[in-house]
Amino acid sequence: MLSSIGPTGFILLAVIALLLFGPNKLPELGRAVGRTFREFKEGAREIISDDDSSNRKEQEKSKPMAVDSEPESAPKPADKRLPE
């Protein structure tokens, strides 16, 4: 059985963080956590885009070349970006 953290849970976490780190360290801690999440998202985007580009290259290599046919319109790849 999973339960979500309610408003009282967030208040309790804030009080514990205030007691552990003090009022002067909390802004620095928040910035560090934000920077970490941003870097993680950027890294995940790079991995996804690298994977997509390598898949496209492999598909182009395995696709037979037709001499007299018109080029096919390539379907757009699915958007695999992480939400911001």
Contact 82, 44 (CB under 8 A): yes
Q: What is the pTM of this model?
A: 0.45
Q: State residue 79's pLDDT score.
A: 66
- 13-62 pLDDT per residue, tens: 889 988 988 888 888 988 999 999 999 999 999 988 887 777 777 777 76
Q: State residue 22's pLDDT score.
A: 87
pLDDT at position 1 over 50: no
Contact 26, 18 (CB under 8 A): yes
Q: State residue 26's pLDDT score.
A: 84
Q: What is the 3-state secondary structure (H, E, C) of the chain?
A: CCCCCCHHHHHHHHHHHHHHHHHHHHHHHHHHHHHHHHHHHHHHHHHHHHHHHHHHHHHHHHCCCCCCCCCCCCCCCCCCCCCC
